[in-house]
Structure 1
C-alpha cells in the first residue's frame, strides 16, 4: 500500500507533463525562408495599416521624446496565426511592449509553404513610432 501512494503521485506528475506537452505548439522546425513566404491575407499595405491603426504610442514615451522602429519577430504557424512574438530590435522597453501588444490584434496570414505543405516560418514585423510636431 505504501508503494501505491508513490505510484499514484508519479502517475499524476506524468499526466501533468503530458497535458503540458500537448498544449505546446511544436515549433522545433521553424524556417527563416520558405518556397512561399507567409503573406498577410489582406495584403502588405493593409498589414502596415493595421499595425499603425492598432498600436498605442505610450504617453510616457511621447513625453520623453522616444521614437524609432521596433522589429518584432513572430512565427507564422500553419494556420496563418502570428505566434510567439519577440523583440529582435529594441528601441525602448515602453515601445517594445507597445509593439508586442499589437501582434494579437492582427489578422491572419497565408502560411508559408514548403513542398506544397504549410510550415512554420519566422516573419519580421517593423513597428514604427514617430513623434509628430504640434
Structure 2
C-alpha cells in the first residue's frame, strides 16, 4: 500500500514567511529594549519648620543728661594795629616792543653791496645708468661705455681679491647673498656704506670689502663732479 501525504499537513511550506515574521518581531523587541529609558525616582522629603511664637519684649529707653560744652574763652587784644601810608614812589619798568610797525621810521638802509650771499654747493647724486661720465677706477680710460665696462670689471676683480669668508659664519654654516650700497662722492671717495643680508657677520665682511676700494676720479654730469650711488651683491656660499 502506497502512503500519500496530505499537502495541508506540510509544515515547512511557509517556513520562510514564519522566519521573516519572527525576525521582525525580534528586531522590534530589541529596538524597544534599547530605546527604553528608566529614571530614578528620588524621594522628596518635605520638612515643615515650626516656628514658635515670638514675644515682643519692651526695652526701656534710658535718657542720659549730658552737660553743654563750656563757652569759648574771650580773646583779648593787647597790641594796637596802626596803618602807615606808603611814602616811597615805585618806578614802573616799561618793556618796549621790538616789533616794527608801519609808523616806525627805519634810520639805516642796508645797500645791496653790503649783503653777502654764501654759495651753497648742492651734493647732486646721479645714478650709474644715467651719469654722463662714470667714476674712473685707477687705470681705466676711454669713452663712457668703456669706463662703465672697466668699472664693473675692476669691481669684480676687487671683490675676488679681498673676499674672505668669516670663520664664525663658516662654523655656524651661515650662507646667503649680501647687498652692499655705497656712494662715490664728488671727491672720488667711497662713503655711506650700508649692507643688507641674512646675518650680521656677512654684512660686516661685505662692508669691509667695499671700504677697501681705492679713491677714484669722481663722476661728472655736465662737466661738473657729482656723487654716484652704487650697489653690488656679494654671494657668500660654502663649498660642499
**Shorter chain as normaliser: what TM range?**
0.5 to 0.7
Name the residue aligned to 2:229.
Answer: 122
Q: Distance in 2 between matches of 1:107 and 1:131?
A: 28
Q: Which deviates more from structure 2 when the two are superposed, residues 108-117 or residues 27-36?
A: 27-36
Query: What's the secondary structure of 1:36's corresponding residue?
Result: coil
TM-score by length of 2: 0.40
Name the residue aligned to 1:38.
Answer: 135
The higher radius of gyration belongs to: 2
Query: What's the secondary structure of 1:95's corresponding residue?
Result: helix
Name the residue aligned to 2:51.
Answer: none
Higher relative contact order (CA 8 A, sep 6+): 1
TM-score by length of 1: 0.67
Q: If each structure's strand is expressed as a fraction of its own residues, which one has the higher value?
A: 1
How far residue 120 of structure 1 moved from its aligned partner, in angstroms, is 0.9
Determine whether 1:47 maps to 2:152.
no
Q: Distance in 1 between matches of 2:211 and 2:134?
A: 20
Question: Structure 2: which 5+ runs fail to align?
Answer: 1-120, 140-149
Name the residue aligned to 2:209.
Answer: 102
Listed as ranges, the matches of 1:18-97 within 5 Å are: 28-32=123-127, 33-42=130-139, 43=150, 44-87=152-195, 89-97=196-204
How far residue 39 of structure 1 moved from its aligned partner, in angstroms, is 4.4
